[in-house]
Amino acid sequence: MQFGILINEGPYNHQASDSAYLFARTAIEKGHQVPRIFFYHDGVNNSTRMAEPPQDDRNITQRWSKLAEEHGIDLVVCVAAALRRGIKDELLAPGFRISGLGQLVEMGIQYDRLVTFGD
């Protein structure tokens, strides 16, 4: 099955990013596909390579980059939500790209399921 994932909350502040990561990783392990993950609202803050969590904590952004590289996942950050929050191309971690909301709608149209992580 093809899963699209929508993440609506920022990292560390909220569990949504962690839950979405575990869901994506597990879905792939079970033989499903996660072609794209879309970041909206404060979820866009998952994409910045400027984040430096303490050494003994998980690095949520690096974790996304690694998962994307290993499984060819398209990590898309909403342009309007990103600009509003100061997220720009030059700040993006590997694997992320900025694009429009149409990419989210496409996931709903093309994939078997769209799963939202947020409040």
Residues with catalytic annotation? 78
Q: Does 118 bind another protein (CB under 8 A)?
A: yes
Question: Minimal CA–CA distance to 33: which of 8, 67, 10?
Answer: 67
Cβ proximity of 63 and 20 under 8 Å: no
Pick the binder of another protein from 5, 20, 81, 98 (CB under 8 A). Answer: 81
Interface stretch with another protein, choices 50-58, 63-71, 86-94, 95-103 (CB under 8 A): 95-103
Site string for another protein, 2-41 (x = CB under 8 A): ----x-x-------------------------------xx
Q: Does 105 bind another protein (CB under 8 A)?
A: yes
Cβ proximity of 12 and 36 under 8 Å: no
- Amino acid 14 reads H
Calculate the alpha carbon distances from 112 to 2, 3, 58, 103 in Å: 5, 6, 30, 15
Q: Does 86 bind another protein (CB under 8 A)?
A: no
